[in-house]
Amino acid sequence: MRGRSVLIGMALSFLAGSALSQNFDDPAEFKHQRELLQMKAEGPAGKPWEQHLGGGTVNTAKYKKAGPYKLCFSNAGVGNPWRVVGWTTMQAEVDVQKADIAKFTVADAEGKDDKQISDIKALLSSGNCDILIVSPNTTAALTPAVEEACKKIPVITFDRGTTSKCPVTHIVPIGGYAFGIVGAEYIAKNVPKGGKVIALRILPGVDVLETRWSAAKHIFAEKGIKVLGGEHNGDFTDGDRAKTKSIVADYIAKYGQIDGVWMDAGATSTAALEAFEDAGLKYPVINGEDQQDFLQAWKKNKLKAIAPTYPTYQWRTAIIAAVKVLKGEAVPGPVWELPDPAITDANLDKFVSDKLPPLHYAMCGCEGMPGYPERWGVKK
Amino acid sequence: MSVSAASVTRFDPLRLLRRIHPAYFALVVLLGIVTIYNPSFLTPTGIMNFLRRAAPLCIVSIGEMFVLVSGGFDLSLGSLITLTVMGSALMINNDPGLTWGAIAAVYAIGMASGLFNGLVVSYLKVPSIIVTLGALLSLKGIALAWSGGSPQGYLPDNFRQFGRMTLTDIPVLQVLPVAVIVLVIAVALCAWVFHGTTFGRLVLITGDNPRAAEVAGARVRGIRIVAFIISALSAVTAGILLGGFAGPAQDVGDGYELQAIAANVLGGTQLLGGRGSVAGVVAGALTLTALFMVLNFMGLPKPLRDAVQGAILVIAVAYSVRRRKWG
C-alpha cells in the first residue's frame, strides 16, 4: 500500500513540476522577436550598444543625483568564455566613464543562486551603492532579491533577467527565439531539398538555449526540413569539444555526408567542422556564433555559414544605462531591446581577427576601448 | 585400489567460458551493436577510428590501475588532463617551435603532481581519496586561474598531430592514427612494467597486504609514490591526445577519473588493491567507449543516456564482484 502511494505521489509531483516549469515555446514571443529582427534600430549610428529597437522610454528624473557615482554590480559569474569577454568589456566601459564613476563594486556569485542572493543583500547593506546592476544567475530564484533591492535603490538588470517589473530597465538583445530563427532560416535556405540536417545543443533546461531550439524547430517545420536523430530533440554535447566531435563523427558514420549543422551556441562549432575534415567530407552549411575560432575557420575555409550573436556589448550598455539613470537622463525601457546583429559573408571581414584568442566574442563593441586588444587576451 | 571415474576431469566448456572475464563478453556484444548501427565499423578504418577515440581513456585507465592495485584512489586525473591541455595552449601560444618545450613542461607538471600526491599519502598518511580530491580541485583551479577562465591560444598542428593525425596507405590496416601508435606503446610499456618486472609484482603485494609487504622488506612508501607518478604521467599523455583531437577547452578532462575507475572495475581490477591486469583494463576502457558510441547512435536524450550509463555500470560492477565470490 505504501509503495503504491509513494509511486502516485512521485507521479503527481512530476506532473506538477512539469506544469510549473517554464514554457519554452511561446508563440507570441516568437512572433514578437521575429518582428524585432526586421526592425531598424534607433540611436547613435555605429554604436549598437547604445541603440534600441522600438519600445518606450523611462523617465529617470527622480533618480538624479550629483556625481561621481558609486556603482554596484552583482554578477552571476564568469564561468564561461562569453561571460569572461562580457566582464572584461564592462570593466573597460567603467574606464571609459571613469570621470562619472567614483567606485565600482562587484560581487561574483560563482554561478550559485544562493550566493547571488546574499551578495545582493550585502551590497545593499554596505551603503556603498547609488545604483545596483544585476545579471541574474537564474530567473525565478533571483526575483525576490531584486524586488527587495528595488525598494532601496534603482536597479538595472541585463542578460537573463527576472520576472519582476520593478527594475528601472531591463537590457537584453532580442532574445533566444531570434538567435534560433537566424541560424535555422540560413540553413533552411542553403541546404538542398531533402538534405540531411543535424541539431547540436549544449544541454536541456536552460531558458536562453531552449528558446533557440524551439525557434529552430518552428522554422525547420515551416520549411519542411527534417532534423536527423535525437527524436527531434537535438543532440546534447555538454558544450564539450571532444564530445561534439564524436557525436558528429558518429552521425557521419551512420548517414554519410551531412548537409547542415544547426547549433544552439558556437563554442564547439569548430569541433563539429573538424569531424568533417577528419572524415574527408566537404563542410556543411553551419551556424556558429561570434567566437573568433569559428570566424577564422569560416574565412579560411570559405564556409557557407552565418553567425547569429548574443552580443557581449550588452555589458557596456549596463554601465551606460546606470550612469544615465543617475544623471536623470531618460533611458529606453521598461525593456531596452538591443539590436542583435548577425555576422554574414558581407561583414565577416569587419569582425574576424587572427590576433584575438579563439573564444573571444567579436561582437563586443570593444575595438577602440582602453586597453584593446591586450585587455581581451592578446599578448604583446 | 580402484580408480573412481569421478576423479577423471572432464572437458567442461561452460567452466572454460566462466573463466574468461565478463568484460570481454560485454565488449564483443557492444561492438556487435555498434556494427548493427554502422556496418562500416568492422572495416580497418572503422576499428582504427574507434581505437583513436578510446585511446585517451585506455591510457588514463592503465595509469589509474597502478594506483588502484597499490591500494589507493587517484581522483585528480581529470583535472590534470584539463591543466595539460589549457597549459599547453598557453605555453605554446601559436608558436609551433615551443611545442616540444611545452610537452616537456606538462610532463614535469604531471610528475610534480604525482610526486606530491604520493608523498602526502605515504608520509602524511592522509587517505589517497582525500588527497587526490584536493588535487582535483586545486589543479582545476590552477588551470582556470592561469588561463583566465577560457582557453587562450590555439594548439599548433605539430602538437595536435598526436591526437588527430592519421597515417594513410598502410598495408592491411589502411589507416593508422598516431594516437593508436601512442596507445600501443603505452599499453606495451605498462604491461611490461606491471606483469614483467619485480616492481609490478611489488605493487600487487603492496595493495594486497601492505603490512605484510612492509614486514617482508618491500619499500611500500616508495612504491606508492611511483604508482601516483605513473598515473599522473598517463593523464598527461591522455591530455596531449585529447587536446590534439578536439582542441583546447576548459572542461576537457571532466569525469575522466571516474570513467577510468569504472573501466578498471569492469576489467577486473580489485578496488582497494591486490589484483589487476592491463589486458582487462584495456578491455574495460574499450567497452566503456563502445557503450558511449551505442548511446550516441541510439539518440537518447542526455538525461536518459546518463541513467542508462549509470545502470549498466552498476550492473557490470555488481556482476564482477559477485563473480569473484562464485569463482
pLDDT digits (tens, 9 = 90+) for B175-210: 888 999 999 999 999 999 999 999 999 999 999 888
Contact of A236 with chain B, judged by CB distance below 8 Å, is answered with yes
Q: Read off the pLDDT of each residue in A79-95 and give the average, rounded to a whole number.
A: 90
Whether residue A70 is predicted with pLDDT greater than 80 in this model: the reply is yes
| B-contacting residues in A 241-280 (Cβ below 8 Å) | 241-242, 244-247, 249-250, 253-254, 268, 270-271, 274, 278
A331 vs A169: CA distance, rounded Å? 8
Burial (CB < 10 A; 0-12, 13-18, 19+), residue B46, is middle
Distances (CA, A) of A215 to A26, A277, A337, A338: 9, 29, 18, 19
Mean pLDDT of A360-370: 89
3-state secondary structure A46-87: CCHHHCECCCEEECCHHHCCCCCEEEEEEECCCCCHHHHHHH
Confidence of residue A14 (pLDDT cuts 50, 70, 90): very low
Determine the distance from the C-alpha atom of residue A49 to the mean position of all C-alpha atoms in its chain, rounded to a whole number. 14
Run of H or E residues at B47? helix B44-69
Whether the ipTM is more than 0.85: the answer is no
Q: Check whether A3 has a pLDDT greater than 70.
A: no
DSSP state of A42: B
Neighbour-count burial of B17, counting CB atoms closer than 10 A to its CB (0-12 exposed, 13-18 middle, 19+ buried)? exposed
CB A321 within 8 A of CB A334: no
Q: Could you write out the three-class secondary structure of B94-161? A: CCHHHHHHHHHHHHHHHHHHHHHHHHHHHHCCCCHHHHHHHHHHHHHHHHHHHHCCCCCCCCCHHHHH
Where do runs of H (alpha helix) occur along B165-300?
178-196, 198-208, 210-215, 220-246, 256-266, 278-298
- Asked if the Cβ–Cβ distance from A358 to B302 is below 8 Å, we say no
State residue A236 phi and psi, 5-degree precision.
-95, 130
Query: Is B245 in contact with B258 (CB distance < 8 Å)?
Result: no
CA dihedral A251, A256, A257, A259 (to 10 degrees): -50
Contact call for residues A84 and B150 (beta carbons, < 8 A): yes
Write the residue in A81, A229, A293 that is nearest to B149 by C-beta. Answer: A81
Q: From the centroid of its chain, how far is CA B155?
A: 24
Would the CB atoms of B251 and A239 count as touching at under 8 Å?
Answer: yes
Q: Is B262 at the interface with chain A, CB within 8 A?
A: no
The answer to whether the CB atoms of A377 and B37 lie below 8 A apart is: no
Give the model's pLDDT for residue B40: 76
Average pLDDT, chain A: 86
| Rg value, chain B, Cα | 21
Q: Which three cell numbers stand for residue B86?
A: 589549457
pLDDT class of A15 with cuts at 50, 70, 90: very low
Q: What is the pLDDT of residue B109?
A: 96
- The residue in chain B having the minimum alpha-carbon distance to the alpha carbon of residue A296 is B154
Residue B322 burial class via C-beta count within 10 angstroms: exposed 0-12, middle 13-18, buried 19 and up: exposed
Partners of A231 on chain B (C-beta within 8 Å) are: 299, 301
pTM for this model (two decimals): 0.77
Residue of A nearest to B297 (CA): A250
pLDDT digits (tens, 9 = 90+) for B127-149: 999 999 999 999 999 988 888 76
Burial of A66 (0-12, 13-18, 19+ CB in 10 A): exposed
